[in-house]
Structure 1
């Protein structure tokens, strides 16, 4: 049985990792609290990927029984010559020797939400405020809200985790 340490205690991130790891091998998945080393609301591809990489490495260091460390980070980014601010999702997987990365969907934020995030607020609390909810990031997340429920945060993050595990698990590499 492979042990997978997720660099977060967020239940959605843990379930997304379980979904992928259990499809690949017999897995025991556990969340561990680690620091991402980036801003609470990462901005740009580079900072978001760095947060995922840091979480993967630190999760592997924190759980000495783990075969793999997984880091998942959500951020916001603008794309050159494209209007709007986008929610982005990245995952990283480390086995101590290799570090692989995979991205999830990119979803354009509504202009009023984007303005608040650009002004320094974190996306989850902004959505909670706008929707009059609590803890949206631990349920359907922005992905669920922004796609009308077509996907949710867990499935969006699972795609990022699968992309990061791909070069490790798929024979094609």
Structure 2
């Protein structure tokens, strides 16, 4: 049988891919219980910086737990029109907080490729940060709760 890409064929292909990749729900309890708090507390950051939007709630939890001040930064290498593998855009970076001479814990929700964390880390080092470690719930970072496996749905996201 010959395969053809008739009208709507591409859309059906995307729908099939979306059906296979159902987001895995993550609870607040799972996030809090799986975070490497002891290791991060030993790092003892002067400031926790959350990457908006996804990293802000996790950053707030980390700052509260460690008694550190919290700041946020708007940053994204992505646009919503392309799959993660194809997103190679330039960093869109908001105004950085004052990080001069400070030890920073930089937080995001997930890090698939690590590009956003590395780009923000470079920007904060250029702004005078003394040292930066990274924390994500899932993915590539100095501290993480789990490996990046599939699409996750956090409690604060739309269902």
TM-score band by shorter chain is 0.3 to 0.5
**Bigger relative contact order (CA 8 A; separation at least 6):** 2
TM-score, normalising length: structure 1: 0.33
TM-score, normalising length: structure 2: 0.35
Structure showing the higher helix proportion among its residues: 1
Bigger-Rg structure (1/2): 2
Structure showing the higher strand proportion among its residues: 2
